[in-house]
Structure 1
């Protein structure tokens, strides 16, 4: 794994991490930021780090929403939380066997290529084990921010667990969490 390991970007899961999870949401008006999302993102941006979103959107493969609806929701996220340097969306279902759907590393690797950094220079913040698995597979750092849907075994398996997004960002900025 190349790179210096210096943190240069923080990649966030969307649903359940940045915004309240509304399953298969295609309606921008239903987007509600998580309580600590704004201050956490402001802190990352003030630190001079790139920001990105890596989001599984299997509702597209399931025929429950269109890529256009996903884009509209993502635009609403940006209206509420500010611009992100990179967006990666996996429209595939679990059975499609793609390389992008978390816990596969594809979206993280693609985001890092877009940002011109090594995966070891990125951190992923998410709310479930698939987010942590994708970070680990890519060679990025990982911080779990559990919600009511996070399973106990996912919390136990996570190397770094934070109380909320602000805490996750502070852990990354203060301790420079080692790659998984």
Structure 2
């Protein structure tokens, strides 16, 4: 089967999202069951990576130090349960910057594939937005959806891009499906 890798979106999948952006460590709140779900992936031998758009940086709403503190909190909570995230890749650009990294473009997923030396076909990318699905498809990864964050609205939108994409209640349910079929 080769190396087992899972890529996760952050806001709306691991932690609560906000239409006003998640700007500080105090605003970064894990969704129920998400830390445990990532720890279970780690215990099962999966390498976990995170790919997250963080346009709040380009908008001046948070600093790289703010983002680092949120990611340290994530890593610390995981470490308490014996889990880990191998890498976190983020796009600091705004929606109009024309970069290759901002989802729905595949740049961050391709970077994860390169840095982990893994081919992306067959690798689940768990997200909550159409941009996540499109990025997964563009990179050759397998798009998975959760209903948390923007997921419920995304699924309700009925986009043809969601055809064949498995949809789960939350990250814990997606991890159950991955680990236990």
Q: Report the TM-score, using the length of structure 1 for normalisation.
A: 0.86
**Match for residue 37 of structure 1?**
34
With over 3 angstroms needed to count, the CA separation of the structure-2 counterparts of 1:148 and 1:85, relative to structure 1, is: closer
**Residues 163-172 or 93-102, more deviating:** 163-172
SS in 1 for 2:56: coil
Displacement, 1:81? 2.8
**Match for residue 109 of structure 1?**
110
1:55 aligns with 2:52: yes
**Match for residue 13 of structure 1?**
9
Runs of 5+ unmatched residues, structure 1 = 176-180
Aligned 8 A contact 1:24 1:65 in 2: no
With over 3 angstroms needed to count, the CA separation of the structure-2 counterparts of 1:148 and 1:71, relative to structure 1, is: closer
Structure 1 distance, partners of 2:122, 2:27, is 33
SS in 2 for 1:54: strand
Per-residue Cα deviation, 1:125-172 (whole angstroms, up to 9, x for no partner): 111111111111100112100236333225764211011112111223
Structure 2 distance, partners of 1:101, 1:88, is 11
1:160 aligns with 2:166: yes
Runs of 5+ unmatched residues, structure 2 = none
CA RMSD, Structure 1 to Structure 2 (Å): 1.9
Aligned 8 A contact 2:146 2:174 in 1: yes
Displacement, 1:7? 6.0
- Tell me the number of residue pairs that the alignment of Structure 1 and Structure 2 aligns: 171
Please identify runs of 4+ aligned residues in structure 1 that moved more than 6 A: none
Aligned 8 A contact 2:17 2:149 in 1: no
Structure 2 distance, partners of 1:130, 1:156, is 13
Structure 1 distance, partners of 2:176, 2:117, is 24
Aligned 8 A contact 1:7 1:123 in 2: no
Structure 2 distance, partners of 1:131, 1:7, is 22
> Matches of residues 9-158 of structure 1 in structure 2 within 5 Å?
9-22=5-18, 23-82=20-79, 83-147=84-148, 149=150, 150-151=153-154, 152-153=156-157, 157-158=161-162
Q: Report the TM-score, using the length of structure 2 for normalisation.
A: 0.85
Displacement, 1:30? 2.3
